[in-house]
Amino acid sequence: MRVLLWKVCSEALPTLASLRRRRSDIDSECTGCGVETETIRHVLIECHFARQFWALSQMPWQCLSDWQSSAADWVFQVLQRLDGTDAVCFCGGIWKIWQDRCCRVMEGKTQSPAAAWHELTAILDGYQAARRSTRFRHTVGSTAG
């Protein structure tokens, strides 16, 4: 996930628009909507898949969609305004949206934004449960000993 965020921030994600700059035979049309050119910004916030996905997160859209200049600036601004849980959700969301986009482009598999959101929350819940149980074990261990 950290590598992906770094790629987003340095605008190094291999979007179809960036691949087309190197190979003219590549179609840069977004596979999500089939209308717009697939840029990082389009995939992560503008495409209907991303919009529906972020709507399910219930995070403030005004904050999420506030892309002023660069991708790095966007990530930084959003993370500054979100609290801990939402910040984790935001990073997870970027990862999940990109993962789904890759499944679409490379394997032709499509998934609904709701299914993608459900998968991400299951992963994040599992992660939090694991953290809680570790903490619990610590507490039990220290009171018993």
How far apart CA 32 and CA 29 sit, in angstroms, is 9
Using CB under 5 A as the binding rule, whether residue 30 contacts Zn ion is answered as: yes
Using CB under 5 A as the binding rule, whether residue 47 contacts Zn ion is answered as: yes
Nearer to Zn ion, 67 or 124 (CB): 67
Subset of 58-97 contacting Zn ion (CB under 5 A): none
Alpha-helix residue ranges (DSSP H) falling in the chain: 2-9, 16-22, 40-41, 48-57, 61-64, 71-81, 84-102, 113-144
Nearer to Zn ion, 82 or 117 (CB): 117
Using CB under 5 A as the binding rule, whether residue 40 contacts Zn ion is answered as: no
Q: Pick the piece of the chain touching Zn ion (CB under 5 A) from 17-25, 27-35, 59-67, 123-131.
A: 27-35
How far apart CA 9 and CA 7 sit, in angstroms, is 5
> Is 50 in contact with 59 (CB distance < 8 Å)?
no
Which positions lie near Zn ion, rule CB under 5 A? 30, 32-33, 36, 47
